[in-house]
Amino acid sequence: MHTISAGAPDAPPLVLVPGYGAGAAFYFRNLAGLASHFRTHAVDLLGTGMSGRPSFPARSREEAEGFFVDALSRWREAMGVDKMVLVGHSLGGYLAASYALQHPEHVQHLVLVGPAGVVSRWSVRGQLYHLSRTLWESGATPGAVIRSLGPWGPALIQKYARNRFREGMGLSTEEVAAFEEYFYHIMAARGSGEHALRHLLAPFARAKHPLEGRLHDLKVPVSFIYGDSDWMEPAAGQRVARAVDLVERAGHYAFLDQPQEFLQKLLSQTLTAFPDWDAKRQKPDQASG
């Protein structure tokens, strides 16, 4: 699986899982700060981002979750990671939680950032619900729409990326242009992991098997981070987690909108996960004293 790694090799591992339609590079504003404390890995799950795009065999929710969980398990073993802080955004949050539920012995702390699939009831109003449900259950995905547009696909992505990633983020013109190209190639690549969507989620990110009813059984510390204008519901996290933090002036991509505040929230939740390492890092050099 495609991985971007940074930080001291002997530092505690922290793994970042992006959401649907995103990729490991979406964490580019956070890697340096996290790498000062953790051996940080931003990972494209199998079938997503710049990772391999095999045929997607799953025909059920259990098989769809297993496709990603098993791939992440193989990656963890190949990387020599034992216990990790596991951070997942949006759909990546749902899948990170699925991994933690199946393999709690390898997760030191689970952090869900604006996660999809938490709520047990649909709370979104709209006249398009029935149409979206029909499209969803037929297997239509945003990636399929982009691919169907052929040469017009890049123009649509360019318009979206410029509207979404330029306003309020302080990205340079060059960074926005790089995002446009990166985002397009992720969305236009061969369909694979995206076909899990209809097995895992109903329209508007409502889970078919919600995390809200599953996380209570998890024996791993869980915390949430939301943007204060995130379209996901912080109240859902507050019902199941010991810590829920809001990032001010941020939307669904809090780590892009307000990278410094996001970093502070994330570090405050996770640095205590490896107390021996934190004490070692803060201990003055005995040789210099």
CA distance 43 to 6: 12
CA distance 9 to 93: 25
Token duo for residue 27: 């964490």
Q: How many helices (H) and strands (E) does the chain have?
A: 12, 9
Q: What is the mean pLDDT of the chain?
A: 78
Residue 281 has pLDDT above 70, yes or no: no
Sign of CA dihedral 16, 18, 23, 29: negative
Residue 168 has pLDDT above 90, yes or no: no
Return the minimum-mean-pLDDT range out of 51-55, 151-155, 160-164, 184-188: 151-155
- Residue 45's pLDDT is what? 86
CATH number of 3-124+198-288: 3.40.50.1820
- Residue 43's pLDDT is what? 96
Query: pLDDT per residue over 175-208, tens digit each?
Result: 777 777 777 777 666 656 665 666 677 666 567 7
> Dihedrals φ, ψ of 26, to 5°?
-65, -20
> Dihedrals φ, ψ of 81, to 5°?
-90, 130
Return the minimum-mean-pLDDT range out of 4-13, 138-147, 202-211, 242-251: 138-147
The string of DSSP codes covering 49-94 is TTS--------SHHHHHHHHHHHHHHHHHHHT--SEEEEEETHHHH
Query: pLDDT per residue over 111-131, tens digit each?
Result: 999 998 887 655 543 334 433
CA distance 21 to 19: 6
Q: Are 22 and 49 in contact (CB under 8 A)?
A: yes
Residue 160 has pLDDT above 50, yes or no: yes
Return the minimum-mean-pLDDT range out of 77-81, 175-179, 188-192, 256-260: 188-192
Element (H, E) at 207: strand 206-207
Model confidence, pTM: 0.79
Rg for the chain, CA atoms, rounded: 19
In angstroms, the Cα distances linking 240 to 131, 148, 189, 207, 211 are 31, 40, 36, 15, 9
- Nearest Cα residue to 78 out of 30, 13, 19, 8: 13
- Give the SS3 label for residue 274: coil
Residues forming a β-bridge with 14:
40, 85
CA distance 275 to 1: 30
> Dihedrals φ, ψ of 42, to 5°?
-95, 120
CA distance 254 to 260: 10
Query: pLDDT per residue over 10-35, tens digit each?
Result: 999 999 999 887 889 889 999 999 99
Q: Are 95 and 113 in contact (CB under 8 A)?
A: no
- Residue 204's pLDDT is what? 61
Q: Report domain extents, the chain.
A: 3-124+198-288
Average pLDDT over every residue of 237-253: 86
Element (H, E) at 246: strand 243-247
